[in-house]
Every structure is written in structure tokens, then in C-alpha cells.
Homo-oligomer: A and B are copies of this chain.
Amino acid sequence: MSIRVVVWNEFLHEKENAVVREVYPDGLHNAIAQGIGEDADVEVSTATLEEPEHGLSQARLDETDVLVWWGHKAHARVDDAIVERVAQRVHEGMGLLVLHSGHFSKIFKRLMGTPCSLRWREAGERERLWVINPSHPITQGIDKAIELPNSEMYGEPFLVPEPLETVFVSWFEGGEVFRSGLTYQRGAGRIFYFEPGHETYPIYHDPDIRRVLRNAVRWAYNPAKPWREVAEAPNVPIDQAREKIEKKGGSLHKAGEAGYR
């Protein structure tokens, strides 16, 4: 069975800016989708901001195994209800790859619980992503480091929670460092943040970057049945307790009543 991937892109820079359009004539989403789609058993499609429901209807998300997120200038235009819908699907087990400027997307901040802020500089400087965990599924096939001749600088401190695993740390020509590949789990969903990907450089045409994306899709894919009731808080009635007990003490709720939330 295939892994079903949706690559989401706000798709605005490419329409408005000639530099970006030249590098990504079909949009960033199509370059990313092409890179991921090199694996035969992966089924990739795309979605963009200006489609109805941003292309992320409930029905479509229910059939998505891994969602890839690229956004930059229009984070605020993403509908809150759709952000909640995506968060719920991540909690249920959908994988999520958050790319580059997606660090400030509503969905990433929603799942991290932190500001996700950082320092930045657009100088086209050299970046080198060192593999910190060479045994991680995401770094398979990558040598000691990935070299990018031109990159936007993202610098520490990066305001995210301490990760599950630090997979990449980047060196920048201008003197900064950045934890550029980090993993998280939220509910049943696995999340990978991957820093490179500025829209004015051909980073998503780089074979190493594409390999990391393909590896990350496989890592984030959770084959378990979606956990639909992940956010529910069911009452366990006294007569269904695993050990025999009897009601004692004062009480707020009547028997069988639903809890507050």
C-alpha cells in the first residue's frame, strides 16, 4: 500500500516575485512533491492556500498519511478552524513535515506550544547541515554533512521545546548555528522540522535535500489505524473498573454524566 502525501504551499511568492518564479516555475509545492515522489510507493499530491478550504477538506485529510507544510508571508491567512483540523489529524497519527519558514506557521506553533522564533538573514551565505544522528532513519544515504552554497541564515536561539531527537545542526558562513532537523511526537503523530528551503535558492532541487524529505516521509508515516478518539475523555463507570470498588466520599457528577471540558 502506498504512503499518501499532501504537499501544502501558500503559493504566493511564486506568483508575485520574478526571482522565486525563475527558481520554482511550477511553485515550491511541485518541486517538493517531485522530490518526494521519486519513491515509487509514495502517492503525492499538492494543496495551496487559495483553494477552497486551503485544499485541506476533512475528507482529504482523512486520506492523508503525511502532510508537508511550506508557508511564509500568509501564515495569518490560514483559517483557524483548518489549523485545528490539521492538529487533530496529527494527534490521530498523521505525520507532519514542517519546512523552513513554516516555523512561524499556525500549525507548528499550535503543536509546539512555544513562540518558534529565531534570528534570520537573507545573504545567500553558505550553510552546512551536519548529521548529528547518523543512525536515524531520516539521515540514511546522507554523508557526514549536506553543503548548500546559498541559504538563508536561521540562527539560535530557536524557541521550540527540547526535541525528541536532534537530527541535524547547521553551520552558517556568517557565524551562526541552528538546530536544523528536529523530531517531535504529539499524540500519535510524528513531526519533523527541517530548516533549509528559502524560496530564492534552488534548495528543493538538491538531491540530498530531496533524499531527506523522502526519508522523513517514511519516518513520519504511522501505519497504525487513526486514533479518532484521541481528544476524548471518557468516564470509566464504577462497575467497569478493573478492580472491584464501591463509591465513597462526596460527588459532583451524577452516575454516567459526561465530564466538563
Residues of A in contact with B (beta carbons under 8 Å apart): 13, 17, 19-20, 22-23, 72-76, 87, 91, 93, 101, 104, 110-115, 117-125, 128, 130-135, 140, 145, 147, 150, 153, 155-159, 161-166, 169-177, 179, 184-189, 198-201, 222, 224, 227, 230-238, 241-243, 245-253, 259-261
Contact = CB atoms under 8 A, between A and B. Distances in A.
Task: Give 6 nearest A-B pairs by CB, closest first.
Answer: A124-B249, A135-B188, A175-B242, A124-B248, A200-B250, A174-B241
A211 B233 CA distance: 28
Contacts of A227: 134-135
A120 B237 contact: no
Given A117-B232, A201-B250, A235-B120, A72 B260 contact: yes
B124 A250 contact: yes
Contact of A13 (B119, B134, B245, B252): B252
A132 B20 CA distance: 32
Nearest to A232: B117
